[in-house]
Chain A
Amino acid sequence: MSKILEGLKYSESHEWVKVEGNVAVIGVSDYAQKEMGDITYVDLPEEGDDVLAGEEFGALESVKAASDLISPVSGTVVAVNAELEDTPEKVNEDAYAAWIIKVEMSLPAQVDALMDAAAYKAHIGE
């Protein structure tokens, strides 16, 4: 069983979003980290980069494969979790503590289209 946190929003491509005012904190779900296995590299954008909802902003790499990170919202990257560059395994250890980027949202209403915990649970079939 994968851990799903109440109070977060989830995308179909398994990113989670925590809304803090006008900022979206973005990471990947516990389900996603389990599916990927040992994460060995995190490809991060830079502060100041613009991201678009539904578009790729970086990638997680496991031994076997690369998985694109898809932004659930549009806006500007205001922080990246640079700690993950040296310790990508933190995503495996606790996917909800290991946030990846923070985005200043240009269209905060985009969050409403994301799934809540119950809907995400149904989405992954658990």
Chain B
Amino acid sequence: MSDIQIPLDQLQKTCLYHAHVALQAKMSPFAGFMMPIQYSNITQEHLAVRQHVGMFDVSHMGEIFVKGPQAESFINYIFTNDIRGYEPGKVLYGMMCYPDGGTVDDLLVYREYLADHFLLVVNAANIDKDFAWIQEQAKAFDVKLDNASPRIGQIAVQGPEAEKTVIEVLGYKEAADLAFYTFCDVEYNGERLILSRTGYTGEDGFELYTTPENIVEIWDRLLKAGVEPCGLGCRDTLRFEAGLPLYGDELSPEISPVMAGLGMFCKYEKDFIGKEALLDQKAGNLARKLVGIELEDSAIPRAGYPVELEDGTEVGVVTTGYHSISLDKSICFALVDKAYAALDTPLWVHIRKKVFPGKVVKKRFYQTNYKK
């Protein structure tokens, strides 16, 4: 996870901070916020999401509204994916890139039910940077921007029992009709609530966006109904197993979507910032690629550990690694020289004083269970 050095007294707190403290969560700074890492333990929370249902405070995430007659063409200009033809109620994943192809952020774009209205959901650590970037690019477009992050809280309800939970505990029967990566607008206490069938765990699930006051109440109701509170610790193990990148680890100003293997979210039939550089990389002009590596041993490859050939030549670096809870294998993402990125290539990871053999495998380690 990204380590941002901010003095403790300057860290932000989400609307659920007091709920976490009441649950005696282990709290730690993340992305400028004081966040819960775990409540019980990471393994238990991980398995709750894989087998039943768990909930996460993701109120630290950023929400930026974009509206105006040129909103669609503006977003399509700063976004790698192509939102043309996507109906209201659809959600699309993609990145914003710099002209050199480096990644500004990865984000979700929501096409709202009101014409020319969009919502961008961005990473907490990048809110200020993203908003400044978007404002700068927006000068030539007729759009209005609103960084609503402080006014919106978010809970993710994730797991095979997420639909049942949202319907039975919160009464949103609409949940049953939502396909993955779609959303609908509902009300809570007379305020808007965005009910989105999205997530970051590899399981079915929902993300609920509404006012901080509503979020506090909803969290409490879900908790009383027995939904397992889950911290950022298992959010990372879950997303990692599902092959999902974390900005700061697998995407960064130095790591483009093409290097990260996310080319499927870049659409070249339109113009967007970074297109030329990404096309060039796609054609083979790139030094490194993100791969998955599975080790034979159960030693754990961690971010920053060197990836080597048998003779000790360093050819890459681990970006995220765990002993996978769902698979009981030691696996990692690593950025390696492209010559060694093919499936089944033997690679070694240097873990402290020892070197452990492994091989390149597909990055989606865990078979995801999304609702089509």
Contacts and interface: CB of A to CB of B under 8 A. Distances in A.
A87 B311 CA distance: 32
A116 interface: no
Nearest to B1: A64
A66 B318 CA distance: 15
B38 A66 contact: no
Contacts of A63: 41-43, 233, 237, 322-323, 325
Contacts of B359: none
A38 B41 CA distance: 7
Size band of the interface chain B makes with A: 10 to 19
Contacts of A43: 299, 351-352, 354
B300 interface: yes
Given A43-B352, A59-B352, A61-B323, A66 B41 contact: no
A29 interface: no
B323 A40 contact: yes
Interface string B309-342: 0000000000000110100000000000000000
B38 A41 contact: no
Interface residues of A, number: 13
A37 interface: yes
Interface string B329-372: 00000000000000000000001101000000000000000000
B298 interface: yes
A61 B233 CA distance: 14
B198 to A, nearest CB: 25
B143 interface: no
B352 A64 contact: no
A59 B353 CA distance: 11
Interface string B226-246: 000000010001000000000
B41 to A, nearest CB: 5
B138 interface: no
Contacts of B323: 40-41, 61, 63
Contacts of B42: 37-38, 62-64
Interface string B32-54: 00000110011100000000000
A57 B9 CA distance: 37
14 contacts: A37-B41, A38-B42, A40-B298, A40-B323, A41-B300, A43-B299, A43-B352, A56-B352, A61-B300, A62-B42, A63-B41, A64-B233, A65-B302, A66-B352
Q: Which 3 A-B pairs have the closest CB atoms?
A: A63-B42, A61-B300, A40-B323
Interface of A: 37-38, 40-41, 43, 56, 59, 61-66
